[in-house]
A and B are shown apart, each in its own frame.
Chain A
Amino acid sequence: KAGVTQTPRYLIKTRGQQVTLSCSPISGHRSVSWYQQTPGQGLQFLFEYFSETQRNKGNFPGRFSGRQFSNSRSEMNVSTLELGDSALYLCASSLWGGAGNSPLHFGNGTRLTVT
């Protein structure tokens, strides 16, 4: 079974631009979560989607948004990029969400650099 696939692996953008990252979950998984990883703040939860509905959102500005499609694939979008948005963005999928009884499976991440 294929794992969680994130594209692209690396991305370089300029301040003020917007960016879209993609995540394909493991087949059969209906929940997709996104995390931002930086050296300073560590891993922080962005949002979680299940059956195309956002169920939970972390403490991030409205420039960060996401969506999930009917095939469970998910995208996250960051508008008006700032230097501080440079990070590794990790996507995780699970059967039905709920990290406790439905373990998360992570992708390899997208490394975003904002210049």
Chain B
Amino acid sequence: AQTVTQSQPEMSVQEAETVTLSCTYDTSESDYYLFWYKQPPSRQMILVIRQEAYKQQNATENRFSVNFQKAAKSFSLKISDSQLGDAAMYFCAYSLGAGSYQLTFGKGTKLSVIP
């Protein structure tokens, strides 16, 4: 079974600084997707970024980027120029290749942004 591990239950960052959230996963598959979701106090899960395992290039979305190390099964999220609105729970998630109908989530990292 696939597992996703987030080893940092809580992290904090100064506003305008950069922070990196860690995620490792375990799978024997070669075709899969990885995601970072953000869950603010409103409870709605919001997709931050998505990475396809067969793509070497790391995904980026504005201030958010990932460091995808396939051999090491590592998928970290870097948030640059942190803003107060970035404060939330961040979940790393895994899905098998196209046609898979479920996500496997990590336990999450609570990010605080200090003004």
Identify the A interface with B (CB < 8 A). Answer: 3, 31, 33, 35, 42-45, 48, 50, 55-56, 58, 88, 90, 92, 97-101, 103-109, 111
- Leading 10 A-B pairs by shortest Cβ distance: A100-B33, A106-B45, A43-B105, A99-B95, A48-B101, A45-B102, A56-B101, A42-B107, A109-B43, A108-B44
Inter-subunit contact B98/A42 (CB<8 Å): no
Q: Which of B16-24, B46-54, B58-66, B71-79 contacts A (4 or more CB under 8 A)?
A: B46-54
* Residues on the A chain within 8 Å of B103, using CB: 35, 43, 45, 99, 104
* Residues on the B chain within 8 Å of A107, using CB: 44
How close is B73's CB to chain A, nearest CB, in angstroms? 17
Report the separation of the CA atoms of residues A13 and B101 in the bound assembly, to the nearest whole angstrom: 30
Report the separation of the CA atoms of residues A112 and B98 in the bound assembly, to the nearest whole angstrom: 32
* Residues on the A chain within 8 Å of B33, using CB: 99-101
15 interchain pairs, CB-CB under 8 A: A31-B101, A42-B105, A48-B102, A55-B101, A56-B102, A58-B102, A90-B43, A98-B98, A98-B99, A99-B33, A99-B100, A100-B95, A106-B46, A108-B44, A109-B43
A108/B102 contact (C-beta < 8 A), A43-B91, A100-B33 known:
no
How close is B94's CB to chain A, nearest CB, in angstroms? 9
Inter-subunit contact B45/A33 (CB<8 Å): no
How close is A53's CB to chain B, nearest CB, in angstroms? 11
Within 8 A of A (CB), among B21-44: 32-33, 35, 37, 42-44
Inter-subunit contact B98/A100 (CB<8 Å): yes
* Residues on the B chain within 8 Å of A45, using CB: 102-104
* Residues on the B chain within 8 Å of A100, using CB: 32-33, 50, 52, 95-100
